[in-house]
Amino acid sequence: MTDPDGTGTLDREELLPLIISQLHQFGLHEHARRLGLDTRIPLSHSTASSRLAELAFLGKQAELQGIDENGDGDGDEFGGDAVFGGDWADGEGLSFDDPDANSQRPAPNYGVRFVSMHKAPVLSGSFSADGTHLATSSRDTTIRVFSAAKMASSNRADDGGAGAGGEAGVVKVYSDHQGPVNEVAWHPGGTILASAGEDRAVRFFEVAKTAKKAMKWVADSHPVKSISFHPSGDYVVTGTEQGQARVYDFRSLQCFTPPFPNEAHRKRINSVRFSPTGTVFASGSDDGTVKIYDTITGRVINTLEAAHKGRPVWSVRFSKNGRYLLSTGGDSTAKCWDMKTGVAVQSYEGAGMASGPISASLSHSEHHVLCGDDRNNFLLVWDARTGNVLRKLSAHSGTVRGVASSPVAAAFASYSDDSRVRYWNVE
C-alpha cells in the first residue's frame, strides 16, 4: 500500500481497481466496464470483489469507535469480557471514589417557575445539548418545544392551561405522529429532534426551520418505545416492542440490527441510551434485564440479569462521565451501576414505580437523583452518593413519569400523567 502524498489515502492505481471490482460485485457490469476503459485499468481487475466494501466497513468501525493514534485498547473488565477503560467522557461528574462519598450534600430548594399542558399524559422530556430548548411528547400524539429562557423567566406556577401563561414558552408544536409519542431525543447539534412513536415511526424534525412537518421519517415493524442519538450525531438507536435494538444511520436511514438475535431481549425494550463516548449503548426491558452492547459489532457484551429483581426495567441513563448507569424498575427502586464492575453501588428507595414506566434522572450537578412516586404523585430527590431522601416535592396531580435535567443550569422539567409539564429551578 502506497501513500506518496502522506494524505492517509489510497493512490489512484490502488483505489480504481477496487472500485471496478466492487461495481462488478454489485452487478453493475456496464458501469465497471466503462470505468475500466476510461481509466485504462487492465481487464485483470474486472473480477467481482467486495474488498472495497469490506475496507469501507472497517474504516467506518474505526471512525465510530473514535480510536486515537496511540490507543492501546487496555482497560478494566466488566463481566469478564467487556473492556471499558478509557471510555469515560471529559469532566468529573458523579463519583463514588471521592473520600467524602459518604458525606451528604445540602438539600436543594427547588421551586416551580413555569407550567404548561398537553391534552393527554406526557410521556417524555428532553433538553437540547445547549440547554436552550426543552422538547416533550405525549399520548395526545404531539411534540412540544419550549424556550428554556422563557420558562426560566416566567413567574407563572399555576395550572398551565389556556390563558394561564403556559403557552408563552411554546415555540413549536408537531403533530405528525398517528399515535402516542413515546420519547423524543435531541441531535447533539441541538437543532434536530428525533421522536419514537407508537405508530411504528421514527421521525426527525428541523426545529431551527419553519417547517411544521418532519424532515424525514422511517417506518418500523413494531411500536418504537425509546430513542437516543449517538454523540457524533451520525446514528440513532431505538428500542421497540420486538425486543431487538436497531441502529439507524441518520443520513441514509439505513437500519442495522445486531447480528445475534439470540442475544436480544425476550420482551419489549422500554429504554435505550448511548454512552457519552458512543462506544457502547444500554437497553432496559420488560424481561428484567439491562444489556450493554458494543456499538460497532452490535454484540451484547454484558447483561445485568434480574437488575430489578426480575421486574421490568423502565429506564437507563448514563452519568456524564460514562462511569455509571442509572436505572429504574418495577421493583420500585432506582439503582446506580458501576460500569467497571457491573455492581450496583447505590440504591434509591422510597418511591413507588409499579404502575408503569417511570424514569429517574441525575441532576445537572449529578449531586442528586430525581424520580416520581406513583403512590402519591410526589417527586423525590435523593443524595446521589448516600441514597438518602432529601426532599419530597408536591409536584403533580398525576404520576410523575420522568424528569429531564438541564445540561447547563440547576434546573429540570417534570412531566406527568396529569398532562402537565413543570419547569423547576433552585430558588
Tell which residue, 194, 196, 191, has the closest CA to residue 241. 196
The whole-angstrom separation of Cα 166 and Cα 158 is: 8
**With bands split at pLDDT 50, 70 and 90, how would you rate the model's confidence at 92?**
low
The whole-angstrom separation of Cα 208 and Cα 200 is: 25
pLDDT tens per residue across span 201-259? 999 999 999 998 999 999 999 999 999 999 999 999 999 999 999 999 999 999 999 88
The whole-angstrom separation of Cα 255 and Cα 243 is: 15
Question: Which position has the higher pLDDT, 121 or 159?
Answer: 121
Question: Which position has the higher pLDDT, 176 or 96?
Answer: 176
**With bands split at pLDDT 50, 70 and 90, how would you rate the model's confidence at 8?**
low
- What average pLDDT does range 340-347 have in this prediction? 94
- What average pLDDT does range 165-183 have in this prediction? 90
**With bands split at pLDDT 50, 70 and 90, how would you rate the model's confidence at 43?**
low
Q: Is the pLDDT assigned to residue 163 strictly greater than 70?
A: no
Question: Which position has the higher pLDDT, 411 or 15?
Answer: 411
Q: Average model confidence (pLDDT) for the chain?
A: 86
Q: Is the pLDDT assigned to residue 353 strictly greater than 90?
A: yes
- What's residue 78's pLDDT? 39
**With bands split at pLDDT 50, 70 and 90, how would you rate the model's confidence at 112?**
very high
pTM of the model: 0.79
Q: Is the pLDDT assigned to residue 164 strictly greater than 50?
A: no
Q: Residue by residue, what is the 3-state secondary structure of 388-422?
A: CEEEEEECCCCCEEEEEECCCCCEEEEEECCCEEE
CATH 2.130.10.10 residue ranges for the chain: 110-426
- What's residue 99's pLDDT? 64
CATH number of 12-65: 1.20.960
Percentage of the chain lying above the pLDDT 90 cut:
67
Considering only the top CATH level, what class is 110-426?
mainly beta
- What's residue 235's pLDDT? 96
Cell of 148: 428554556
**With bands split at pLDDT 50, 70 and 90, how would you rate the model's confidence at 81?**
very low
- What average pLDDT does range 33-45 have in this prediction? 73
CATH 1.20.960 residue ranges for the chain: 12-65
